[in-house]
Each structure stands twice: as C-alpha cells, then as structure tokens.
Structure 1
Amino acid sequence: MTDSDNKRTFFSKGRGGKKRWIILGLAVVLIGGGAYGYTTFLTPQRAQAAFQVVNVGRGDVSETVLASGAVQASKRTSLSFADVEDAKDAISSITVKVGDHVKAGQVLATMDDSVAKIQVTNAQANLLSAMAKLEDAQKRKTAAEMNTLQANVNQTKAELELAKQTIDTQKAVNDEAKAKANLENAQKTYASQKALYEAGAVSKTDFESAQTALDQAQRDYDTAVLTASQTKGQSNSKVEQAQAAYDTAVEALNEAKEGPDAATVLSAKAAVEQAKAQLQQAQKSLNAVTLKAPMDGVIVQLNGSVGEIPGSDFIIMDNSNSGDLEVLAQISQSDIGKVKEGQSVSFTTSSYPDDTFSGKVKLIYPEAKTESGVTSYDVLLSVANKDSKLKIGMTMNVTIEIGTHQNVLVVPAQALQTMNGKDGVYLYNEGADSSSGRPYRFQQVKIGYFATDRVEITEGLKEGDKVVIMAMSQGSSSQNSTRMGNSTRMGGMGGMGGGFPGGGGSVRVMTR
C-alpha cells in the first residue's frame, strides 16, 4: 500500500475512524484504574514511559484530501471530411504525421477542390448581381432623371393629342365621299348613254366609253372605302398606343416622386440574402475539402493515406503538448463534501519524484460511482505541465488543499480518542494520586481541521489545558506520520520538540 493509500485510508474512515487510536498502553492504564495505578501492571521503569502530558497550544492546521488520477488532455477532437457534400473522393494530400505539433488553421489534408472553387466563383457573381439590383431598387432618382421623366410625359402627351386629331382618317373619309360622287355620276352617264345607244342616237363607241368610265368609278369607290376603313383602324391603334405611352410615362414619373418601391426593395433584399446563403454553402463545401487544425495541438492518430477514401475519424488531435492539462481523480464519499471548485491542488508522480506540479479543481461531477461497495466521485483537476514533462496517462498523486486554520487551539493527533461514539481527549488532572483516582479524565471536544499530526479543537478545551498522550500511541502515530511522508502539507509547529504545538507546551513523564 502506498503512502497516499495509507493516508487516504486513514481519512476515509470518517471522524470516528481517524481518531480510534486507543492503544494498548492506555488500555492497560484504564483497566488498572483507581488505586492500582501503574504499580499493579507496570514496573517503575515502564511506568515512566507510559504516557506524556502536553499543553494545549495554538498553531496552524492545514487539511487536505488525497487521491490519485491519470493525466489527460484538456482538449481532444476527431477530424474528418464529413462536411463534404459528396465525401467519396479520395484524399489528395496529407501534410502532417503522427506526433507533429500544429497550429490552429494549419492545413492537415485535402481532397480535390476544383468543382468547389467553381461553385464559389458562381455564387460570388450571383451575389454581386443581386446586390447591384438591390442598390438600384433603393436609390432615388436624380434631378436630371426627374427632368427626363417629366419631358417624356410631355412628349407622350403631345403624341396622344396628335393621334386623336385623325387627319389621315378625315382625308380617307373625304376620298371615299369623292369616289362615291364620281361613281354616282358615272352611273348616270352610263344610263343616259345606254338609252341613247339603244335609241341609235349615239355610237357604240360612246356607249362603251360610258361603260368603262362606270367600271373605273366603281373600282375607285371600292378602293376609297377600303382605304377609309384601314385608316380608321390605324388611327384608333395610334391613339391607343399613344395613350399607353403617356400612361406609362406618367406612372414612371409618379413612382420616381414617391421614392423606391417597398415591394421591389423587399424582393431585391430577399434575392441578396438568398445569394449570400448560396455563397456560404459553396464556401463551406470548399472549406470542407481542406482539413484544417481547429486548435493548437499535436497529431495523435492518422487513419488514412493519400488515394484512400477518408473515414469518420481520419485525424485525431489533442492539446497534450500544451502547458495546461487535466487530471481525472476519484474522491471518496466521505471527502467529496470538502472539495470545491477553484481549490488549489498539488501533484506528484513517480516519474519525477523531485517535482511538484500545481493546479486547481475545475469540475466536480455530480454522479457517484460505486465499485466494490466504495462510493466515489470523479473530480476534474487542471495541472500546469511544467517544462512539458507530463505525458498523457501518467498516474498522479493528488493533494487537494482544503484550507488552513491559523492560530487555533490544537492537540497532537495521538491525543484524540473516542468514547461511546464521542470525540474527546484524556485531560490530565495535575496533583491527583492513586487514592483519589486516575490522574486523567475523558473530556469531550469538538474538532475542526484534521491533519496527520495535529487536530484543531473548536470546543471543550482551552489554551494551557494538559492532555495525555500514551507513549505507545505516540510511537504508533509517529509510524503513521513517517509512512505518510510529505503527502500532507502541515502548518508551523511553533518550534516545539516532539512536533507538538507551541505556546508553553511541556512534556511530563508520570511515575508512581
């Protein structure tokens, strides 16, 4: 069993367990009791070494919790090409190997990026176009542009008025009326010539001339009618076109006066946002084919080669090369209530017996673990990796510094006893003899911080009181302290011999 295990076992027994140091020497005295004193069971020489008397004094008491745990990286991540839309392409390059130290953003591996680059270029062009349209939709017309719009209204209005005048239509109507009159005259002439010809008054040539003139007049009239009809249709169409042009010009002028159209601007903004999203997706696809380190760290696994299809855990890295690592320790149920986040922690390891590493309590996991009937809690501790000596997986001896109470009443740990489940000490009654009873009595006390060699007394004693320490108990305790070594950091002892508190403490050897 290691030194840390000894101390951990010592403390894990609870308040009662760690003070059950009723050793044989004191038991012999208690059994003898009363008038028998030491003469019945002890020779004078052995009686002189039976117990010591120590004054209750003041000193510092530092309480610690001991544990052990393994070094682990505070950050660890698994990298892959999982974000690639079609991650079936082979690896085109790998720029690192296991053990390499890398910086955040450093390229670790790549896949073919030609298609992804084209997609990014197209997305960028679409975004620029959408932004230009939005800018155009949002800007107001200049004074010059407003003048142009007004001039267009004036021009289209004039063209509309001109179209309404229907000059060509009137001419066509007049031509039709003239052709009709000519036709009627030709019809009369033909009828007259026909009657004269039948009467033999005119020649056949005159009659045929009248017939020809009638036919021509009919053709001229038909043409005039058709032309008039076409002219009317064209005139109506020109009026409608002129009216539409005028209405459009007026609408454009009014819109310019009102400012940008809200619906148009909203639609343009939506187009811009859509283009941005498309660019982000394209950029993500491009980034995904280039695997970069998300943090400073070291490559611990490389699961793939150039030309292969990468798996889900292609590259694994952590920050084990940093100065800030972690230790996961297990704290017993009896001690977990003392441990708080932020408490200072010191670490030792057999790999570097002369070094002490420092850290803090980072996290106390709320869920308990029970193994072989022992309940404990995981506690995460930070540890400064001094000179980069620590390696992942190293076993560390953990000392969590609970706190120090300074200038408090203390007694040697050997003096603490338990009677009927109550904490106490044997208080020395100076001047008592065998006829009046034992020279000590049990005094109940309340204790505070508890260290390997001393205990804080909060109630039941006062400074200068004398407590009994059995010689055999002292030797046993010294052995315990020796086995525990430096696993607990103690407060100053006041410079007294035997390691007892200062403040006038003395050692007496009792004899008959």
Structure 2
Amino acid sequence: MTQMEKKRTLFSKVGSNKKRWMVGILAVGAVVISGGIFGYQSFFPPQTAQAAFQVETVKRGDISEVVQASGTVQASKRSALSFSDAEEAKDAISTIQVRVGDAVKAGQVLATMDDSVARIQVTNAEANLLSAQAKLEEAQKRKSPAEITSLQAAVNQTKNEWELAKQNIDGKKAANDVEKAKANLESAQKTYTSQQALYAAGAIAKSEFDSAKSSLEQAQRDYNSALLTAGQTTGQASVKVEQALAAYQTAQEALQEANEGPDAATVLSAKAAVEQAKAGLQQAQKALRAVTLKAPMDGVIVQVNGNVGEIPGNDFIIMDNSNSGDLEVLAQISQSDIGKVQEGLPVTFTTSSYADETFRGKVKLIYPEAKTDAGVTTYDVLLSVANQDNKLKIGMTMNVAIERGTHKNVLVVPAQALQTQNGKDGVYVLRDAAAQQAGEGAEGNQAEAKQANNRSGGREGRANMPYRFVPIKMGYFTADQVEVTEGLTEGERVVILVNTQTSSGTGQNGNRMGGGGMPGFGGMGVQIRGR
C-alpha cells in the first residue's frame, strides 16, 4: 500500500467512526424521549467524536533524496596465482614462504621451484647479448682522421707497387738474353759447318772439328735456356701485376668506406643480431621469473593449496585486498529505484557491527542484467567503501543509502501531510479564518466538500471543514519530508490528519473548529494540534 493510500484509509476511518456516532445519537434520543433527559444524562454520558489533526507551516529547507538498500562487503581485488607459465611447472615446489592470513606486499616472494637451469640460461643469454652489442658498436664506428690518413698511405703504396709490377712485365733483359743466345747459336752453327768441311778435306785435325761441334751444342743449350727463362719471367711478372692491382683496389675500397661512414647493410645485420639476443635474454628471464611466485599487489593470503614437495596446480595461492582501505559492497537495488541510481553518486553505509559509525563510498558499477527472486526484480550495484581502520570484514551486511542529491532552500512539507484526491497528489491546507467566517467557498472547496459529504454519509456540514485540498507537484522526497515544486507558498499551513478517537465527557479539551456539533449533545468538533 502506497503512502497516499495509507493516508486515504486513515481519513476514511475518521468518517466511519462519525457514522457510528450518529447511530448512537439516534439510539440515545429514543431513550431520552422514553425515559427523560435527566435519566439519560445520569446513566449515558454524551459521546464526543474528535477528528484531531496537526498543523505544520510550509517552510524552506534542504532535502536530500536517498535510495535505501542492503549489500555485502567484498574485496575489490582478488588474484589466483600459480606456476603455470613455467616450463618446470611439472617439478615439485621448493619453498612456500607464506601462510593463510599473512599480509604481503606487491613483489614479495610467496613460493619457489628449483631455478638452477633457468639461471644458467639467463647467463648464456646475457653473454650472447653482450657479443652482439659489441659487433654492432664496431659496425657503427667511424674511422678517425689518423686512420683515414693511414688508409690513404696504403692506397698510395699499393699503387706504386702495381706500377712497378707493370714495368717488370716488359721483360727486356730476358729478351736481350734470348737474342744474345740466338746470335751465339748462329755463330756456332757457321763455325761447325766450316770446320766440318775442313775436317772432311783433311785440312784440320779431328780435335778441332770436335771443338766446333761442342761449341755448337753448348750454344743450342744456352739458347734453349734463355727462351725458358724469358717465359718464366713474363708469367711471374703478370702474376705480380695482378696481385699488386688487387691490393691497390682493396686499399681504395677501405679508404672509400672510411670516408663514407659505416656500411648500412652491415649495421642493419648487426642490429638484427642484437634484437635477437635481447629476445633470447627476455625469454630466459621470463623462465627464471616463472619459477618464483610473487605477489602482484598488496593484500592478504586467503588460500594456500599445496605443500613443499608437491606438484603445484592451478590456483595454488589465492590472495585479495580484504585488508586494504578500499573495499566493495555488492548491493541489490529494487526495480522501482534503479532509475535513480547513477555511477559516481555518493553512498553512506552503516552496519550493526559498528552502530555508531558511518562509512562513505561511491557507486562504481550498475549491472545491466536484472535478477528476479520470488517475483521481486532487483539489480546488482557495485559500490566502493572506504574501510577506515580496517574495521569492515568480508561478508558483512551493510545498510546502504545512495545519495541522489540535495536540493537546498526549497519548500518542504512533512511526508505525513500527503493526500490523494481524484487521482491527484496534494495536501490539506488550513483555510483562512476570515474567509471561513465570511462563508467564502472556492470551487476547489466545493469539490472537497462534495467528496467529504459523500464520505460522511451526505452531511452538508463537511463543506465547512477548516481545511481544503490543494494539488501539488513534488520533487525530492524522503520518509519524513517532501519537496514541493508547485502548488504551495512559504508560510501556508498544511494539515496532518491523526487517528480519530471517541471519548466520554463534554468534548471541551483543546481548540475546537467547526462551531459545535448537534444541538443538545455536547457538540461535535475537530481538535487542532498546532505546531
């Protein structure tokens, strides 16, 4: 039942009680007629029905609208750790350095496996990287002026050697030797021919002929030797020329490279080797880190699922930040209120564990999917909460008040003053005393009087009730107050109906409105409880 419906029900009860009072009056009247007024008043005191209400002044104030809910404290961060990235994950655990409940810092070692192989791999990878970096440095190095001068000198020297080799390839001496040997051979041939004829004629001795023959044979040998020497000298000279030319060209290239700077292709290749060495080192370092399990954040150990000597499994160690100053509350917001909730709104928390303390936070996340349980639809909303002094524990139930906002210096009336009439929200406003005495009745009052007449069984006197219904438009509202954006002005007085009661006596207690009741029966009036 809504607040408006409750108010209408309360007002209807007032009319019903007055109907019963009228039936009692008729019965009493019959007794008076038959038994006398004196006897009736002696044994049946008159009944006075009092429709009491309170009066509140429309005033300005600040009003904050909140969405109420409940939720459960949970950690804002949770991490399940294992050795799954290590190639040696199939090996046994070497050490476990924490227990459940231990507070740890980010980077703290929690557990280890054997790392001897991994350390050797890291050392080798570091050496490979240093070697590659040295080669790159050499490839990128430019020649100094002194080195360039030395290279220029080498070019000049090799050029001179090449020129000299080309001169030697002419072989003039060898040619002269061949010509001389040829001339000697021809001379020896003539002498031999002449001596042969003389010996045949018996003009000379055989010894002279043999001497001529020996000279010819020697001249032939000398000529053959000169020819051979000349050929060998020419071949060697050609080789020397080719060697000198190659040395000269090499010296020229070295000088050109020195003048132009480092070779781009060589530098590029050296850089690629360095990057490859870096990748190898990173892989080796990763393998080393993988055999050492470290805390990824500050927090507390909540589970250790294994022992030294066992093969570690998934979720070997579980930790969260439940000991931190920043936790979360998962709250369930009703479907009717979820539209009022936005990310970033401030939140106030209370809990029975600390009845006198208040915790603060904000709306972090609104889950888009609804949940329905027993016909009630809610939405999960994640809230941050500042856990001062680490008082809050995981699983605690929290009372949640999401502060939608505050409207300052606005018109406010008590929430109990709200009424509904003809489908409109409004309040009962106390009539102006002068207008009431003049019998003034506005159109709105006539409508109220007609409805009051229907509720009271057709009694026209209700048209003169001391209050009238005024429709209003509302802004923020709480359990105690309602913001009025239209319909009222500051200083007007609104009526809050309270329980209708029947009492014995003369009905003279409190101020009376409405000028008495039925004649002769103590008067029926409305009791005002002003504020």
Q: Shorter-chain-normalised TM-score: which range? A: 0.7 to 0.9
Q: Paired residue for 2:22?
A: 40
Instruction: Report 1:230-241 matches (<5 A).
Output: 230-241=232-243
C-alpha offsets along residues 457-478 of structure 1, whole Å, 9 cap, x if unaligned?
A: 111122233333221399xxxx
Q: What is the distance in 2 between the residues matched to 1:375 and 1:399?
A: 19
Give 1:437's aligned amino acid.
A
User: Which secondary structure does the structure 2 equivalent of 1:417 belong to?
Assistant: strand
Moved more, 144-153 or 178-187: 178-187
User: Which secondary structure does the structure 1 equivalent of 2:463 belong to?
Assistant: coil
TM superposition shift of 1:430: 5.1
Q: Does 1:19 align with 2:37?
A: no
TM-score if structure 1 supplies the norm length? 0.80
Q: What is the distance in 1 between the residues matched to 2:384 and 2:303?
A: 24
TM superposition shift of 1:252: 1.8
Q: Paired residue for 1:243?
A: 245
Q: Paired residue for 2:527?
A: 509
The answer to whether the Cα contact below 8 Å between 2:348 and 2:402 also exists between their aligned partners in 1 is yes
Q: Does 1:458 align with 2:460?
A: no
Instruction: Report 1:113-192 matches (<5 A).
Output: 113-166=115-168, 169-192=171-194
TM superposition shift of 1:383: 1.3
TM superposition shift of 1:456: 1.5
1:232 and 1:353, CA in 2 relative to 1: closer, same or farther beyond 3 A? same
The answer to whether the Cα contact below 8 Å between 2:371 and 2:379 also exists between their aligned partners in 1 is yes
TM superposition shift of 1:218: 4.1
Instruction: Report 1:1-150 matches (<5 A).
Output: 17-29=2-14, 40=22, 47-150=49-152
Q: What is the distance in 1 between the residues matched to 2:140 and 2:23?
A: 110
The answer to whether the Cα contact below 8 Å between 1:24 and 1:472 also exists between their aligned partners in 2 is no
Q: Paired residue for 1:468?
A: 495
Q: What is the distance in 2 between the residues matched to 1:197 and 1:252?
A: 73
The answer to whether the Cα contact below 8 Å between 1:70 and 1:395 also exists between their aligned partners in 2 is yes
Query: How many residues get paired?
Result: 460
Q: Paired residue for 2:330?
A: 328
Give 2:463's aligned amino acid.
G
TM superposition shift of 1:23: 5.0
Q: What is the distance in 2 between the residues matched to 1:473 and 1:399?
A: 35
Q: Paired residue for 2:287?
A: 285
Give 1:464's aligned amino acid.
G
1:414 and 1:165, CA in 2 relative to 1: closer, same or farther beyond 3 A? same
Q: Paired residue for 1:409?
A: 411
Q: Does 1:426 align with 2:431?
A: no
Give 1:333's aligned amino acid.
Q
Moved more, 339-348 or 68-77: 339-348
1:191 and 1:417, CA in 2 relative to 1: closer, same or farther beyond 3 A? farther
Give 1:21's aligned amino acid.
K
Report % sequence identity.
70
Give 1:457's aligned amino acid.
V
User: Which secondary structure does the structure 2 equivalent of 1:334 belong to?
Assistant: coil
Give 2:484's aligned amino acid.
I
The answer to whether the Cα contact below 8 Å between 1:138 and 1:260 also exists between their aligned partners in 2 is yes
The answer to whether the Cα contact below 8 Å between 2:327 and 2:387 also exists between their aligned partners in 1 is yes
1:305 and 1:48, CA in 2 relative to 1: closer, same or farther beyond 3 A? same
C-alpha offsets along residues 82-140 of structure 1, whole Å, 9 cap, x if unaligned?
A: 33245333322221122211111111122222222222222222322332333333333
Instruction: Report 1:281-430 matches (<5 A).
Output: 281-429=283-431
Greater Cα radius of gyration, structure 1 or 2? 2
Moved more, 77-86 or 65-74: 77-86
Q: Paired residue for 2:510?
A: none
The answer to whether the Cα contact below 8 Å between 1:331 and 1:378 also exists between their aligned partners in 2 is yes
* Alignment partner of 1:441 out of 468, 489, 499: 468
Moved more, 185-194 or 305-314: 185-194
1:146 and 1:27, CA in 2 relative to 1: closer, same or farther beyond 3 A? same
C-alpha offsets along residues 305-364 of structure 1, whole Å, 9 cap, x if unaligned?
A: 223332232221111111111111121222122223332222222333343322222222
Q: What is the distance in 1 between the residues matched to 2:417 and 2:482?
A: 9
Moved more, 425-434 or 227-236: 425-434
Moved more, 399-408 or 444-453: 399-408
TM-score if structure 2 supplies the norm length? 0.77
Q: What is the distance in 2 between the residues matched to 1:303 and 1:208?
A: 120
C-alpha offsets along residues 372-401 of structure 1, whole Å, 9 cap, x if unaligned?
A: 443332221111222222222222221222
1:463 and 1:232, CA in 2 relative to 1: closer, same or farther beyond 3 A? same
1:100 and 1:214, CA in 2 relative to 1: closer, same or farther beyond 3 A? farther
User: Which secondary structure does the structure 2 equivalent of 1:82 belong to?
Assistant: coil
Give 1:283's aligned amino acid.
Q
TM superposition shift of 1:167: 6.4
TM superposition shift of 1:186: 4.5
User: Which secondary structure does the structure 2 equivalent of 1:312 belong to?
Assistant: coil
Q: What is the distance in 1 between the residues matched to 2:500 and 2:367?
A: 39
Moved more, 217-226 or 42-51: 42-51
TM superposition shift of 1:292: 1.4
Q: What is the distance in 2 between the residues matched to 1:97 and 1:25?
A: 63
